[in-house]
Amino acid sequence: MRRGQLFWGVALLLIGALMFANTAGIRLPNGNSLMSLFWPLVLLGSGVYVLAGVFIRRNVETESARVSLEGAREASINISHGAGELKIHGGASGNDLATGSFMGGLDQKASLNGERLEVRMRPASEFVDFPFFGMHAQMDWDVALNASIPTALEMNLGANKSSINLLDMNVTDLRLKSGASDTDVTFPSRGRLKADFEIGAASLTLVIPEGVSARIRSSIGAGDVHVDSSRFPRQNGLHQSPDFETAANAVDINVKGGACSVRIK
């Protein structure tokens, strides 16, 4: 049984029992209504729930999976990932677009649209989590992608830690949305691409390989952005390499965020 279902099942039974006792006129020896015990019992139950989250972890199985290319010459991949650690890098080859290990299992859907393979990857199970109580399912993913296939990559990340190494990848477009996360992204060393980031209370580090030009725009709320100005001088409200417009290898970066910390180097 899911721990979240158990918690709410017990809570509803408790509320129902106390309301029934109150309607029936059952009183404590001191004359108080049984409903007066409600909040003390809720606090005690929450304390037990917190301690259980510290000492008891879910037994979540790890699944090995692959996504076949199906003869496609290009691909788009949409990855959704919640609590846990996400690693994305090159390494898949042959007839595979992606291979990897997926704690908690993988729900994947792929459809071939002409010569373009469109893939969606997300956790197989939907857990009811209570991160503020310390109860969560740790879902660690390690995903290898085929570096020879032109790929548009879109990621929707929750409260996780992500290491996304695209150094040897052929990425044509990158979009990333995240919440309370810690994310490191290394851009490809070849080609031109557009990269959009929308982050919440997060830490984001972007690594631009040597020999790759960049144009960097940022709109940050209660946070800070640090850009290596020796490589990407600031001019006209943005940071840009002098040869950005003509460089064979370049990344056009747009970052929007709230209370976040962004480092671009």
pLDDT band for position 54 (cuts 50, 70, 90): very low
Q: What is the pLDDT of residues 128-181, one digit of tens each?
A: 444 444 444 568 999 999 999 999 999 999 888 999 999 999 999 999 999 888
Q: What is the pLDDT of residue 111?
A: 96
Question: What confidence score (pLDDT) does residue 163 get?
Answer: 97
Mean pLDDT across 14-31: 71
Quote the tokens at residue 177: 């949305």
SS3 137: coil
Is 181 buried (19+), middle (13-18) or exposed (0-12) by CB count in 10 A?
Answer: buried
> How much is the mean pLDDT over the chain?
85
The pLDDT assigned to 179 comes to 85
- pLDDT of 29 reads 74
Tell me what the mean pLDDT of segment 177-204 comes to.
Answer: 94
Order of strands across the sheet that contains 171-178: 106-113, 116-123, 74-81, 151-157, 171-178, 192-199, 250-257, 213-220, 238-240, 234-235
d(C-alpha 10, C-alpha 1), whole Å: 13
User: What span, in angstroms and rounded, lies between the C-alpha atoms of 10 and 176?
Assistant: 39
Question: Rounded to an integer, what distance in angstroms lies between the CA atom of residue 236 and that of residue 124?
Answer: 46
Give yes or no for residue 205 having a pLDDT over 80: yes
- The 3-state DSSP composition of the chain as helix, strand, coil percent (nearest 5) reads 15, 50, 35
**Tokens at residue 186, please?**
């290394």
Around 103, how many Cα atoms within 13 Å sit in the side-chain half-sphere? 15
Q: Which two tokens stand for residue 94?
A: 């042959």
pLDDT in tens, 58-93: 556 789 999 999 999 999 999 999 888 999 999 998
Average pLDDT over every residue of 24-28: 73
SS3 call for 39: helix
The answer to whether the CB of 142 falls within 8 A of the CB of 100 is yes
| Residue of 132 and 214 predicted with greater confidence | 214
Pairing verdict, β 238-240 and 234-235: antiparallel
Which of 140, 145, 116, 118 lies closest to 58, judged by CA?
A: 140
Classify 71 in phi/psi space as left (phi over 0), alpha (psi -120 to 50) or beta.
left
Which residue type sits at 102? F
Tell me which residue of 262, 124, 128 sits closest to 198, measured CA to CA. 262
Domain ranges for the chain: 3-55, 62-264
pLDDT value, residue 74: 97
Of 212, 160, 214, the residue nearest 182 (C-alpha): 160
Among residues 207, 60, 201, which one has the least CA distance to residue 138?
A: 60
What average pLDDT score do residues 17-28 get? 71
Sign of CA dihedral 251, 252, 257, 260: positive
Say which amino acid occupies 125: S
